[in-house]
Amino acid sequence: MAKTNIAVLGAQWGDEGKGKIVDMLTPHFATVARYQGGHNAGHTVYVQGTKFVLHLIPSGILHPGVSCVIGNGVVIDPQALFKEVDELARMGVDVDGRLLVSEKAHVILPYHRELDVLSEARRGERRIGTTSRGIGPAYEDKIGRRGIRICDLLGDRDALAEEVRENVSARNRMILDSTLDWKPLFDQVVAFGERMRPWVADVSLHIAQTMKNGKHVLFEGAQATLLDIDHGTYPFVTSSNASVGGVCTGLGVPPKAIGGVLGVAKAYTTRVGEGPLPTELSGELADRLRESGQEYGASTGRPRRCGWYDAVVVRYSARINGLDGIALTKLDVLDGLPEIKLCTGYKTATGTITEFPADLRLLVGAEPIYETLPGWSAPTKGVTDFDQLPVEAQQYIRRLEDASGVACAIISTGSDRMETIVRKDSIVSGWLD
Ligand code: IMP
């Protein structure tokens, strides 16, 4: 396939290592554009031993000369954005002139965070396990047509005052005994707008012009397909379309602009928060994966739940997103295990299923159907050529590809940019020409 615009997105429940993959592909693109989510995401990138954790700003920012877009589909907490910009500046990365923030993106206000925490507490046993960043409540206001957008912060002050006043009184009605004053919040959001003004842009136009000039765009997903509000394990999902459909709505680009889709999947599975994880492990094996994979949330520090690779999940993601290839990450975490399991279906109370179900009740008490493959003892860490992998690791990857229905175009064998295998003749090598 010739060079094209591509989407890079999560094929499992998030934390697949999208940050590293986006970072390594970025030099081949003029623009990296984030299309959904907010600072609930945590993309960790290591550059020559230095760790960068990005939440809102696309991982492409670490490459000088690449423009980085935050799309209208993203919800923006201005304080979180400023913190990230300041942190990048401290580490020698200047965003000015390269960061573009959609004027249509919605704003997360401090009370959205409060509402997030409150709504989780009210759900009790049925809580989602959110990141408490105010993401859900901000999207609720967007869909409820009372949200405040970035362009509102920069427009008519009287209209903004009215919007803030109305939102605050709606919030006060939701939280008993609450008497939040709208005026200090109004002053705060005006100041937010002023600091953001230089970055605010029509990002759809910027992307269209980039493409018209013969350059290419990488569309960066946050969270993942199984956390997608429509296609994920509802209600244990985030509040946006993390799968490929979000690219069009979250950036204002037409479907035909997306020439390729790369799904990022871990060589095993993890999830944070509540909800089903059919291949979940417990005890020593789970601890081992968690420790050697450093499976703790980049945003919240929460320990991640760990399990075997679930081919039902990735095959489902391949269908929803039209995956052209997989970037398989953290293969090295499996080094030294005597055997490795891979799930190809579930035994449920009503029979065996091999397609991911909509009704999560089917998964209660479901037993994964596993294939067991031999592990490998030689390290895969840092290997950059597929043929140099232990033969059992090659065998595992081939079986995983077969069961998932997609080829692994990239295999990550460590956290550094260089610790990567790009398969010869894979779809990705065409994109990188
Ligand atoms: P929210 O996005 O904070 O509303 O959280 C909803 C669900 O998505 C929870 O299960 C979170 O743990 C999960 N989630 C949100 N962002 C991420 C992420 O970046 N990685 C993994 N899980 C996430």
Which of 220, 223, 264, 304 best tests ligand 1's pocket when mutated (most atoms within 8 Å of CB)? 223
Report the nearest atom of ligand 1 relative to the CA of 116: 4
Pocket of ligand 1 (CB under 6 A): 14-15, 40-42, 128-131, 133, 135-136, 222-223, 227, 236, 238-239, 272-273
By CB atoms closer than 10 A (0-12, 13-18, 19+), residue 221 is buried
pLDDT at residue 45 in the model: 85
Ligand 1 centroid–CA 226 distance in Å is 11
All residues at 6 or more sequence positions from 171 whose CB lies less than 8 Å from its CB, including other chains: 111, 115, 178, 180
| Nearest CA, atom 23, ligand 1 | 223
CA distances from 125 to 128, 229, 327, 341, 361 (A): 9, 20, 35, 31, 16
Which of 281, 397, 238 has the alpha carbon at shortest distance from 330? Answer: 397
CA distances from 22 to 164, 216, 217, 218, 221 (A): 37, 14, 11, 8, 10
Ligand 1 centroid–CA 380 distance in Å is 30
pLDDT in tens, 167-176: 998 888 877 6
Place of tokens 């050697």: 292
Place of tokens 């709504």: 119
CA gyration radius for the chain? 22
| Nearest CA, atom 16, ligand 1 | 40
| Nearest CA, atom 8, ligand 1 | 238
Residue 398, number of CB atoms within 10 A of its CB: 13
Which of 75, 272, 277, 329 best tests ligand 1's pocket when mutated (most atoms within 8 Å of CB)? 272
Which residues participate in catalysis according to the annotation? Answer: 15, 43
Tokens for 281? 């492990």
Which of 12, 34, 40 best tests ligand 1's pocket when mutated (most atoms within 8 Å of CB)? 40
DSSP summary character for residue 160: H
Ligand 1 centroid–CA 237 distance in Å is 7
Q: How many residues does the chain have?
A: 433
Determine how β-strand 6-10 pairs with β-strand 260-266.
Answer: parallel
Place of tokens 């459909």: 245
Query: pLDDT by residue for the chain (433 residues), tens digit each?
Result: 689 999 999 999 999 999 999 999 999 999 999 999 999 998 888 888 888 889 999 988 999 999 999 999 999 999 999 999 999 999 999 999 999 999 999 999 999 999 999 999 999 999 999 999 999 999 999 999 999 999 999 999 999 999 999 999 888 887 766 778 999 999 999 999 999 999 999 999 999 999 999 999 999 999 999 999 999 999 999 999 999 999 999 999 999 999 999 999 999 999 999 999 999 999 999 999 999 999 998 778 899 999 999 999 999 999 999 999 999 999 999 999 999 999 999 999 999 999 999 999 999 889 999 999 999 999 999 999 999 999 999 999 999 999 999 999 999 999 888 999 999 888 888 887 6
36 close to 232: Cβ distance less than 8 angstroms: no
Is the dihedral angle over the CA atoms 143, 59, 196, 31 positive or is it negative?
negative
Is the dihedral angle over the CA atoms 158, 160, 163, 169 positive or is it negative?
negative
Angle of the 391-404 helix axis to the 311-321 helix axis, nearest 10: 50
Ligand 1 centroid–CA 384 distance in Å is 32
Cα 69 to the chain's mean position, in Å?
15
pLDDT at residue 49 in the model: 84
Ligand 1 centroid–CA 193 distance in Å is 27
Distance, in Å, from the CA atom of 289 to the CA atom of 311, rounded to the nearest integer, reads 18
Place of tokens 């429509």: 230
pLDDT at residue 74 in the model: 98
Report the nearest atom of ligand 1 relative to the CA of 222: 19
CA distances from 336 to 92, 311, 408 (A): 38, 22, 22
Distance, in Å, from the CA atom of 71 to the CA atom of 35, rounded to the nearest integer, reads 5
* Complete DSSP assignment for 272-295: -SSS--TTB--HHHHHHHHHHTT-
Long-range pairs, 158-164, Cβ under 8 A, ≥24: 160/186, 160/189, 160/190, 161/186, 164/189
Ligand 1 centroid–CA 291 distance in Å is 21
First to last CA, the chain: 9
Peptide bond into 58 cis (omega under 30): no
| Nearest CA, atom 5, ligand 1 | 130
Share of the chain above pLDDT 70, in %: 99
DSSP summary character for residue 105: P
All residues at 6 or more sequence positions from 360 whose CB lies less than 8 Å from its CB, including other chains: 233, 234, 236, 275, 276
Residue 5, number of CB atoms within 10 A of its CB: 24
Report the nearest atom of ligand 1 relative to the CA of 299: 19
pLDDT at residue 300 in the model: 82
